Structure 1
Amino acid sequence: MRFTSTMLASAAILGSANAALKGFNYGAFFLNDAAKQQADFEYEFNAAKQLAGTSAAFTSARLYTMIQHGTTNTVIEAIQAAINTKTQLLLGMWASAGSDNFNNEITALKAAISQYGTSFTDLVVGISVGSEDLYRITPTGIANQAGAGAQPSELINYVAQTRAAIQGTGLAGKPIGHVDTWTAYVNGSNAGVISALDFLGVDAYPYWETTTANSIGNANASFYDAYQQTVAAAQGKAVWVTETGWPVTGPTENQAVANADNAKIYWQDVSCSLMKNNVNLFYYTLQDAQYGTPVPSFGIKPAGDLLAVDALFDLTCPN
């Protein structure tokens, strides 16, 4: 199944009123637990803009936290890197570590506003309160040892705290959302969270849909089924694609084979269609790690190669 006319219409409606955001996800630390520094973020943000073969401008970055890794509440150095490279930011507030940690996220957010002013706030396109917190507390998340999550009531409270924190600042009016799996959004017990949001960020990976036919030939249909179910549950809110991708290396998951050829097919079938139809997209990921190679590896740039500009597969979109 390909992207039908109904899906195209929905995607156009749900995209940004202006040119859609195009970016990647950026973690706060490397595989060896070393914190990314300003220079590391600048390298990544610049590398995203210099990718060969794509006509799209990948000028946006999704962060998972406001806190510099290894500190209590120091502002993450990605902020200065974004200012230096003129990179738009979808901010992240980590919400699965308890209320004390979330208070530190709020502290770092306020500090960034105070420290950087409009140089920072003008780059912010949205704030995501949490990332897959609802998924982690499901039986599937627990079985997959996904880690601590957060209850719906906690997330609703965190969203309210974030709205209060930005009131009267340069971030006032910026859309506040939450990022989770499509399965979390279609769960009716999470409807209260959706009601509290301005947008929904959905993470959808056909590669991991191991209980269904999940070969690369079915990936387009699998992704858009998840996307449309999220749209149906969104209460009219905008839906951003905050994570999706296909691994270039890794184990075979049911029928899903990880290799660069399949990643290219996924890019052309899914990523290109989202960009064509003006849906905000944060692909996972530009480069999994500068040091070491994760399993599976979703990076379109080779892990560990700081000098490589070209992707591991052709990023040209079909006409």
Structure 2
Amino acid sequence: MPIRIKRKFSAVLVACTLAAIAPATDVGATPKAVVVPMFGGATMDTTQPDGQCMTNQRAIDRLHRLKTVERLAQTVRTLTTSDCNALMNLIPAAMATGLKINVTVWAVDTAKFDTEKRHLEDALKSFGADWLNTVSVGSESLYQKEIDPNLLAERILDVKGMVHDAYGHRDVAVGTSEPRTVWADSASDPVVEASDFVGLTVFPYWEGKPVDEGVTTLKKAIRETRAATSGKPLVVTETGWPSAGPAFGEAVASLESLERYFNEAVLWLLQQKIPYNWFSGWDEPGRFSEVEKHFGVFLADGTAKFQLTR
């Protein structure tokens, strides 16, 4: 009678299997570091303004719009693989418009993590990986104290084992996304070690900074994160500014502040060749707090809030 075990793609388990079948000359070889490509992109929600799941045609329309903005024209980021069948709906739109996807796999709650990972695996089976840019296992999960660092590291290795070893896409970087305070904490060292890249979330607005200190705050966060993460490749996975809502400390939510921070931050990131993902591409009327509805550079209907092309 065959013995059945629950499939798990932990990099450690896969490495043991590969070591058993690899030629002797491969034993002990150091894997090459994954190169994170330069890119600029934006986040897209899984729902439409009416709260319904995003249709494929709506996704195509949005990505065509994003392609008109040279500074955001390489990638789109999704914050789930499974909600609204997000990934399987988005991939055809990305392939039709020539964008790649920065995927987020929820790391919290074992059942949810398994579902999210399965949806990513289904996408790899169905479409290969030409559409895939990076994978973030979790987003601010440590900052929100939703998961232990060692468990998050294990889940990053699990997804890496699936993407790199089981399906052979070793050029796809897998990591996670956190603010600088988390990366600076030595408790996060196992997560740094497990990751191909460190994803950094930076919101000067939520730090109560005036917009004229926006890029200074961004630079400081990048400098401190790099110092704490042993030179791992860095991606700014989220940064942005709201165009409406209440002030937070000295930070004013206004269209003028959004336009200024976008132009100054993106220009500097491009000059420094630091990959980035703008949060967000479009306003999200379904968000709970008023200010969180207004982080898009486009209104929910696709109208640009300011001159995005230059």
TM-score range, shorter chain: 0.7 to 0.9
Structure 2 equivalent of residue 158 of structure 1: 155
Task: Write 1 or 2 for the structure with the bigger share of helix.
Answer: 2
**C-alpha RMSD of matched pairs (Å):** 2.3
Deviation at 1:115, TM superposition (A): 1.3
Contact 1:195 1:235 in 2 (8 A): no
Q: Where does residue 258 of structure 1 map in the other structure?
A: 253
* In 2: Cα distance, 1:95 partner to 1:107 partner: 13
Contact kept? 1:31, 1:292, Cα under 8 Å: no
| Partner residue of 1:201 out of 199, 202, 205 | 199
Residue 59 (1) aligns with residue 74 (2)? yes
The residue type paired with residue 34 of structure 1 is: Q
Residue 4 of structure 2 aligns with which residue?
A: none
Paired residue total:
273
- Quick check: 1:49–1:58 contact (8 Å CA) kept in 2? yes
Identity of aligned residues (%): 24
Cα deviation, residue 266, structure 1: 0.7
Q: Is 1:131–2:139 an aligned residue pair?
A: yes
Deviation of residue 27 (structure 1)?
Answer: 2.2
| Structure 2 contact 282–295 (Cα < 8 Å) conserved | yes
Give the 3 Å change call, closer, same or farther, for CA 17–36 of structure 1 in structure 2.
Answer: closer
1:147-186 → structure 2 map (5 Å cutoff): 149-166=146-163, 167-186=165-184
Is 1:91 paired with 2:103? yes
Q: Give yes or no for contact 2:71–2:266 (8 Å, CA) kept in 1.
A: no
Contact 2:36 2:173 in 1 (8 A): no
Distance 1:31 1:181, change over 3 A: farther
Indicate conservation of the 8 Å contact 1:274/1:280, yes or no.
Answer: yes
**Does residue 284 of the first structure (1) align with residue 284 of the second (2)?**
no
Quick one: which of 243, 249, 264 aligns to 1:248? 243
Aligned-residue offset at 1:57: 5.3
5+ residue gaps, structure 1, are 1-15, 138-148
- 1:293: how far off? 9.9
Counterpart selection for 1:39 from 57, 62, 70 = 57
1:34 CA displacement: 2.5
Deviations 1:21-80 (A, max 9, x none): 0100122234664322222221221111124xxx535120111122142x6xx8531122
- For 1:278 and 1:57, locate their aligned partners in 2 and report how far apart those are by CA, in whole Å: 14
- TM-score of the pair, normalised by structure 2: 0.81
Residue 264 of structure 2, aligned match among 269, 279, 284: 269
* C-alpha spacing 1:155/1:263, structure 2 compared with 1 (3 Å): same
Give the TM-score taking structure 1 as reference length: 0.79
Pairing 1:64-79 to 2, within 5 Å after superposition? 64-69=79-84, 75-79=87-91
